[in-house]
Structure 1
Amino acid sequence: MSEFATVLERPVKRARPDSGPPYVRDQQFYDDEAPAPSVDWCIVSAENVLFKVQRSLLMRDSPLFSTLFGLPQGQLPAEGQSDAYPIVLAGDTASDFRALLTYLTKPGFELIPKDIPLDEFQNLLSLGKMAHKYQMSGWERWTGTVLIELVDKHARRLSTKDFSVALDLAMLLSHASLRDAVTDNWYSMVSAARLPILDAMDIAERHAQRSFLVRLYTQQLKLVCHETQQPPSPFVAVVTFQALRGLQPIHSQRILAAHSSLSIAWSAFRRLEILPRREPGCSPDHHERTCCRKFRSVWLEAINTADSSRSLPLTSLRQRVLFVQDQLAHYKQDTMINNPGDRILSPMARTSPGIYCIYVDERDEIKRVLAALPLTNSLDPYFFAAEA
């Protein structure tokens, strides 16, 4: 369960503990020289740690604290007027409340986001939790802004746990910009092999961050594709599954589903019969022996180059198809001659006037394949096809 789960408990419950550990005064926020408890000053307890604070300080930005301090006292001794009867903040840790007070008491010149050091990372997480719980919307926004600044600036110094709790807070606050900053920088660290990918997948799954999962899966799928040996038959592949070891079954299943779908799609494309159209002036025998043979060689060279190029992994299926299309376009340019019809002439036909074998784009099977592929590089449809 997320460490932020208790933040969602509302309203704040006040209780008078009749027994339990003795109270301890907080060294930072229980000043013996501060005014005695009064209309404005009160004693607050979090985890049996006592804080002496101004009510107005807490009520200024929080309607929930205003409600809390306005609850009727009844016949019992007034809460918050002594160490024996403090106002108890249920579910809050002493460190979280201390972080809240720290920022509530800072002067404005110490709250410039770009000047907040990374050392304040944990305090900012605590502040964000408390601001959300006590409906301090201004502090929620400010915390998100500062954390984005820190994550962008210090990504290399953050651990998996740091990214995880920052994502927890982003989801709790429904802060899209913070969520994107965390996942973008986290992915950068994972793809650079600075942080493990397994934990990132599990946490992304817990938060249902599908776009983040797709990027992580694509990264791992590239490793699977590099393990795959290109066999003589386009429908058979030997995969060692080294890249899938340690992954939860759901992650492995999605990655293998995408690998299978992409492999089948590419194999089907390799088997397409794409040939130039025979013109009336070209005999069937000449067309088959010369025009089609030349075109097939160009097609096979383009396919094999796409297969072997490390810059065109199977995860870049659309780019592979576009590469083949581009190679065929070069073939057309090489066989173009100046004539009124701007027709495409097979290389050998240059010595045979009147023979024009052209490749007609309107009948291009490659266009049909491209139209069926996702327009973006996202492999989302392949990873989650079975879950749609």
Structure 2
Amino acid sequence: MGAHLDDEVLFVGTRSKSAAREEHTTRDFEYYFDDGDCVIRVEDTVFRVHRFLLTRDGSAFADMFSLPPGSGTSEMPEGSSDANPIRLFGESAEDFRALLFILYALPPDLLYYNTSAANIPHLLTIASITHKYHFHRTSNWAISSAFRVLSDTYGTPTCNPSTASASLLARILEVALRCAHEPLTKLAEDIWAHRVLTCELHPRRALALADAHGLRLLGGAAYYAQLLEMEDGFQDPRDGSNTSGDNSDDTPLGNLSQPTPGAQDAVDEIPALTEGQRRRLLCGHWSLVRLWEQLRARAPVFRRPEGCTYHARGCLSTWGTVWDEAARAEETLARPPADVLGRLAVMEARLTADSDLQTALTPACRRRALLAVKEIIKETKEELAGHFIDLTVRPQASE
């Protein structure tokens, strides 16, 4: 028998008894109960459990057990013994053990997951496998518990996403997306994007996942950070020089070399750039340089605060002059042409310390002017993804 679960397939079936005897199996050390009424084999591990637990919450197992038995009525039904177990293909014994853990868990067992020391990888496995087999309430509990822990509800978590590896952040984000948990998706995306922009993590891993799932904030940050790492000839120093051969959009270009010091990602975790990604990086460079020319040419405008009697010809005029000077400053222009955020950060520091703004602007106008700079930086970060669009792809003609 078999059942189809969304994009994942649960294969269930049996082999001949003679074939079963020839294969080596091991009874699970924890979930093999003598009084169990359902024998399930996953990989080479045999579990003997209680069927009623598997049928809770309208799970896929409830549907599976309701299917009519096979035509071989003389044989013992599937799941009745070690020699004739229900076979789950495409599943790991470790993950199935996590499913049984949560099905058999007692209230005291769950208290640990409401603390900052909670095992996040285990919670994610529980959330993923219960979602896969349609234990909806259990899956919602697990993914919500992970969010509460990671969002500092119980204090700084032992498994802190602000210091976690890219692999763990990817796992958090993938499970959150699978379970459609928007708060955890946003939390993980925000943290990962920040750590990529601050050069704590290599952008390539984030870039690949953002492309796969259409994550604009993370994708924009990853493309931007990757762009700033490109050297002359538009090569990443982490890539080797071998870029020959035919490469499709999904074929990596170049060989991986050692990451720069301080990078937390292992070399084998860093995917090479595809041709499509390289085109988007080139288009992003062009777009960001244009954005900088627009930003530097006109100081951000802010509303006149109450009490400012010489706003247009006084405060705004001085603000525009000082803005232009900051944009032309050697320190600002030392940043790469496409590093709009870097140049704006340099300008913000100069403008904050500028003596002319402190004396020529009213205190309220100065506050609003500096807040306008912060708002531009915030908007630029949020809209980074919009710059990395492949302009070589011809848009489809409307019918």
Q: TM-score if structure 2 supplies the norm length?
A: 0.62
For the structure 1 residues 334 and 107, does the alpha-carbon distance in structure 2 shift closer, same or farther, using more than 3 Å as the test?
closer
Question: Which has more radius of gyration?
Answer: 1
Q: Secondary structure of the equivalent of 2:78?
A: coil
Structure 2, unpaired ranges of 5+: 152-156, 240-271, 299-317, 362-376
- The CA deviation at 1:375 is 5.7
Q: Secondary structure of the equivalent of 2:39?
A: strand
Counterpart of 1:255 (choices 261, 264, 281) is: 281
Letter in 1 for 2:389: F
Equivalent in the alignment of 2:183: 177
Counterpart of 1:28 (choices 3, 20, 30) is: 30
Equivalent in the alignment of 1:15: 13
For the structure 1 residues 382 and 84, does the alpha-carbon distance in structure 2 shift closer, same or farther, using more than 3 Å as the test?
same
Contact 2:332 2:343 in 1 (8 A): no
Letter in 2 for 1:166: I
Q: Secondary structure of the equivalent of 2:13?
A: coil
Equivalent in the alignment of 2:205: 199
Whole-Å Cα distance in 2 between the matches of residues 127 and 117 of structure 1?
Answer: 17
For the structure 1 residues 384 and 321, does the alpha-carbon distance in structure 2 shift closer, same or farther, using more than 3 Å as the test?
farther
Equivalent in the alignment of 2:115: 115
Q: Secondary structure of the equivalent of 1:186?
A: helix
CA-to-partner distance for each residue in 1:3-35, whole Å, 9 max, x for gaps? xx997335x44311122523321111113xx32
Letter in 2 for 1:26: D
Q: TM-score if structure 1 supplies the norm length?
A: 0.63
- The CA deviation at 1:143 is 1.7
Q: Does 1:382 align with 2:387?
A: yes
- The CA deviation at 1:133 is 2.1
> 1:50-69 to 2 correspondence within 5 Å?
50-69=46-65
Q: Does 1:216 align with 2:218?
A: no
Contact 1:45 1:86 in 2 (8 A): yes
- The CA deviation at 1:205 is 1.7
Contact 1:7 1:130 in 2 (8 A): no
Q: Secondary structure of the equivalent of 1:165?
A: helix
CA-to-partner distance for each residue in 1:48-100, whole Å, 9 max, x for gaps? 32111111111122432122222222403122221111122232221111111
Task: Give the count of matched residue pairs.
Answer: 305
For the structure 1 residues 334 and 192, does the alpha-carbon distance in structure 2 shift closer, same or farther, using more than 3 Å as the test?
closer
Whole-Å Cα distance in 2 between the matches of residues 87 and 218 of structure 1?
Answer: 50
Letter in 1 for 2:54: L
Q: Hey, which bits of structure 1, 4+ residues long, moved more than 6 A? A: 268-272, 294-299, 316-326
Whole-Å Cα distance in 1 between the matches of residues 128 and 321 of structure 2?
Answer: 64
Contact 1:132 1:173 in 2 (8 A): yes
Contact 1:262 1:317 in 2 (8 A): no
Q: Secondary structure of the equivalent of 2:29?
A: coil
Q: Secondary structure of the equivalent of 1:28?
A: strand
Contact 2:196 2:221 in 1 (8 A): no
Contact 1:262 1:315 in 2 (8 A): no
CA-to-partner distance for each residue in 1:220-239, whole Å, 9 max, x for gaps? 44566xx8xxxxxxxxxxx6
Letter in 2 for 1:264: R
Contact 2:147 2:184 in 1 (8 A): yes
Contact 1:218 1:315 in 2 (8 A): no
Contact 1:151 1:185 in 2 (8 A): no
> 1:225-304 to 2 correspondence within 5 Å?
241=234, 246=239, 248=273, 249-267=275-293, 301-304=325-328
Q: Secondary structure of the equivalent of 2:211?
A: helix
For the structure 1 residues 53 and 295, does the alpha-carbon distance in structure 2 shift closer, same or farther, using more than 3 Å as the test?
closer
Whole-Å Cα distance in 2 between the matches of residues 149 and 56 of structure 1?
Answer: 30
Q: Does 1:85 align with 2:61?
A: no
Q: Secondary structure of the equivalent of 1:89?
A: strand
Q: Secondary structure of the equivalent of 2:12?
A: coil
For the structure 1 residues 211 and 194, does the alpha-carbon distance in structure 2 shift closer, same or farther, using more than 3 Å as the test?
closer
Letter in 2 for 1:219: A
Counterpart of 2:168 (choices 162, 173, 179) is: 162
For the structure 1 residues 30 and 322, does the alpha-carbon distance in structure 2 shift closer, same or farther, using more than 3 Å as the test?
closer
Contact 1:95 1:126 in 2 (8 A): no
Whole-Å Cα distance in 2 between the matches of residues 325 and 316 of structure 1?
Answer: 14
Whole-Å Cα distance in 2 between the matches of residues 297 and 56 of structure 1?
Answer: 76
Equivalent in the alignment of 2:304: none
Whole-Å Cα distance in 1 between the matches of residues 320 and 133 of structure 2?
Answer: 71
Equivalent in the alignment of 2:104: 105
Contact 1:43 1:50 in 2 (8 A): yes
The structure carrying a bigger strand percent of its residues is 2
Over aligned residues, Cα RMSD in angstroms? Answer: 4.3
